Amino acid sequence: MMNCPEVARKLTKNCSSEGQLLKILAHAKKSYAWRDEWPTLQVDIQTEGAASISRNQLSTTSA
């Protein structure tokens, strides 16, 4: 069984835009859709991706 939050964090750690997040989701779907954990991983990727985008936007505006 895969650790979905950890995988999602690794996939999205440098995500900086919605477009990039959509590309990550599309690639992850090709790689993981056959797994039973895909629905959970998909939600985790969206959640972690949104958090990563926020972090990157904060670091860009505060720099």
> pLDDT digit string (tens) for 34-45?
999 999 999 999
The predicted pLDDT at position 61 comes to 79
Q: pTM for the whole thing?
A: 0.89
15-36 exposure pattern, b = at least 16 Cβ within 10 A, e = fewer: bbeeebbeebbeebeeebeeee
3-state secondary structure of 35: coil
* Chain-centroid distance, C-alpha 58: 18
Instruction: Return the domain boundaries, the chain.
Output: 4-58
Predicted confidence (pLDDT) at residue 1 exceeds the cutoff of 90: no
The predicted pLDDT at position 63 comes to 60
Mean pLDDT of 10-24: 96
